[in-house]
Amino acid sequence: MIKENFIKLYENSFRENWNLPCYTDYGEEESYTYGQVAQEIAKLHLLFKHCSLRRGDKIAIIGKNNSRWCIAYMATITYGAVVVPILQDFHPNDVHHIVNHSESIFLFTSDSIWETLEEEKLSDLRAVFSLTDFRCLHQRDGETIQKFLKHIDEEMQQIYPDEFRKDNVQYTTLSNDKVMLLNYTSGTTGFSKGVMLTGNNLAGNVTFGIRTELLKKGDKVLSFLPLAHAYGCAFDFLTATAVGTHVTLLGKAPSPKIIMKAFEEVKPNLIITVPLVIEKIYKNVIQPLINKKGMKWALSIPLLDAQIYGQIRKKMIDALGGRFKEIIIGGAAMNPEVEEFFHKIKSPFTIGYGMTECGPLISYAPWNEFIRTSSGKVLDIMEARIYKERPDMETGEIQVRGENVMVGYYKNQEATNEVFTDDGWLRTGDLGTIDVNGNIFIRGRSKTMILSSNGQNIFPEEIEARLNNMPFILESLVIERNKKLVALVYADYETLDSLGLNHPEHLKTIMNENLKSLNNCVAAYEKINQIQLYPTEFEKTPKRSIKRYLYNSIAED
């Protein structure tokens, strides 16, 4: 059991960092010091008390990253209630289901999302609050919440006549073994499940961030990953708030243009990201630079290449604000070509591994100890093993146990039983290997692995990563049809149009060339039989993973 009490981490942080900047909404006026955040939390606690909320009651939050999202989350856990963060990209039907399934009695939401929801489908909710200004958007008949909120400042004055001060910050005493968070997964294989995380699971992640000094007092971070997802939440928000870091919340889709401007302005000390963002930056910023004629020639000369890679590295670091000590990439597999290039220019990046069920961290290594193609080293508070169904298998399922592992899925004992082995290890569903130093190497998902007719393991993600780097391919999906491999490809139609190449004959020629190039660099059993063009982007989960199960029944042309 982690020694530090999860809730006390924040009680201490608000007191110790009282005058430091805490949350700022990027591009807007809204900004709070730690003291002001503590005061807003105190107001929400008065509201919860007025409504006779009890420990363990559920409060859901859905909306873009902003200061009030963070304040609502903090107010919930420090009161002793259970927070239910919902990804804002979920379909309204999924939101209805999660709010109802979790038995949430309050909902904090952005105004635009509230307009898409149906009140009559959320009959158990007592009240709904806006993440713009905390006003009450809806209350159940007989509730007096709107009336109470009108006089909340007077209420505060009455309780704290000498103003609300750091000494007044006193939160509930709740042991770390209590469930504090219900995180509904955005699975690629169907309906989401409510992951029950305790204070200990959350403290395991946060205290790891504190111990390794990922963030420190006075540091700055730019939070652009959805906070309702475990990865961004654990480090950009929870660890940051526990140590006195200044969090700037982007609150917009991180397109290369928007994010580069934000990096330049915020100058973060740590960058927490997913491969998609880094790959976009590589494609839009770095690739055009290295594809220039003179640059290509210079890179082929051994003495010049180190100097040029050094310049590219400096250009990239400056473009990301120039002050970060590390880029931590997680959430999905990294494109091997991009990873190799980052390694070549000695960029301070590392790749971690985790899952919502571990809140999320399983493995990590600092960038100067990171082994290329790995996903970091198993944390000292976690254990991992490889389970092979047969001794002759090259890879096996990664199974883990330790401080960060969830207690189970909410109201779903069947799924909980399925995900744990009889001897108590969590089945990750990922296939890979672990070296003698505890570094994890992931090959793919057990659910997506294809077994060839010769008994070889084929990992479609590895083939897709190569395909996605080929000309005029935006994304791809490798599936099995009649014992042969087929690649569904969504082409870069915009670029093809601009070059006048969006003609069936041109497309056929381009894709045939891509097919040849691909099959020249994969094993015989991984060769693709055909590329089949797909008319639209593939449907994705809120975490931006392709919903593979939707495409398994697509027939060949």
* pLDDT tens, position by position, 204-237: 999 999 999 999 999 999 999 999 989 999 999 9
Mean pLDDT of the chain: 90
Task: Return the SS3 of 442.
Answer: strand
Q: Answer yes or no: do 388 and 517 share one domain.
A: no
Residue 529 belongs to some domain of the structure: yes
Q: How confident is the model at residue 455 (pLDDT cuts 50, 70, 90)?
A: low
Q: Answer yes or no: do 203 and 292 share one domain.
A: no
Residue 526 belongs to some domain of the structure: yes
Look up the CATH number of the domain holding residue 492.
3.30.300.30
Residue 39 belongs to some domain of the structure: yes
Domain count, the chain: 3
Spatial distance between the Cα atoms of 63 and 131, rounded to a whole number of angstroms: 7
Mean predicted confidence (pLDDT) in 516-526: 86
Q: How confident is the model at residue 187 (pLDDT cuts 50, 70, 90)?
A: low
Spatial distance between the Cα atoms of 237 and 229, rounded to a whole number of angstroms: 11
Residue 450 belongs to some domain of the structure: no
Task: Return the SS3 of 243.
Answer: helix
Of 401, 421, 445, the residue at which a domain comes to its end is 445
Q: Count CB neighbours of 175 within 10 A.
A: 12
Q: Answer yes or no: do 421 and 537 share one domain.
A: no
Q: Answer yes or no: do 377 and 481 share one domain.
A: no
Residue 235 belongs to some domain of the structure: yes
Give the strands of the sheet with 484-491, arranged side by side: 473-481, 484-491, 530-533
Look up the CATH number of the domain holding residue 385.
3.40.50.12780
Of 416, 445, 474, the residue at which a domain comes to its end is 445
Spatial distance between the Cα atoms of 374 and 364, rounded to a whole number of angstroms: 10
260 Rama class: left (phi>0) / alpha (psi -120 to 50) / beta:
alpha
pLDDT, position 188: 46
Contacts of 406 (CB under 8 A, 6+ apart): 195, 196, 197, 198, 201, 357, 358, 359, 426
Q: Answer yes or no: do 137 and 277 share one domain.
A: no
Position 397: which residue type?
E
pLDDT, position 354: 94
pLDDT, position 417: 96
**Euclidean distance between the first and final Cα of the chain, in Å?**
56
Rounded to two decimals, the pTM is 0.85
Of 382, 416, 445, the residue at which a domain comes to its end is 445
pLDDT, position 433: 94
Residue 530 belongs to some domain of the structure: yes
Q: Answer yes or no: do 48 and 193 share one domain.
A: yes
Q: How confident is the model at residue 277 (pLDDT cuts 50, 70, 90)?
A: confident
Mean predicted confidence (pLDDT) in 39-52: 97
Spatial distance between the Cα atoms of 103 and 96, rounded to a whole number of angstroms: 11
Q: Answer yes or no: do 71 and 198 share one domain.
A: yes
Residue 68 belongs to some domain of the structure: yes
| Of the candidate ranges 154-163, 215-224, 284-293, the one whose mean pLDDT is the lowest | 284-293
* pLDDT tens, position by position, 327-378: 999 877 788 888 998 998 999 999 999 999 999 999 999 999 999 999 999 9
C-alpha radius of gyration, the chain, whole number: 25
Q: Answer yes or no: do 280 and 343 share one domain.
A: yes
Helix %, strand %, coil % for the chain, to 5?
Answer: 40, 25, 40
Residue 484 belongs to some domain of the structure: yes
Q: Answer yes or no: do 318 and 441 share one domain.
A: yes
Q: Answer yes or no: do 237 and 162 share one domain.
A: yes
Q: Which domain holds residue 333?
A: 271-323+326-445
Q: Answer yes or no: do 393 and 469 share one domain.
A: no
How are beta strands 450-451 and 473-481 bridged, if at all? Answer: unpaired
* pLDDT tens, position by position, 391-448: 877 889 999 999 999 999 999 999 999 999 999 999 998 989 999 999 999 987 767 7
Q: Answer yes or no: do 244 and 288 share one domain.
A: no
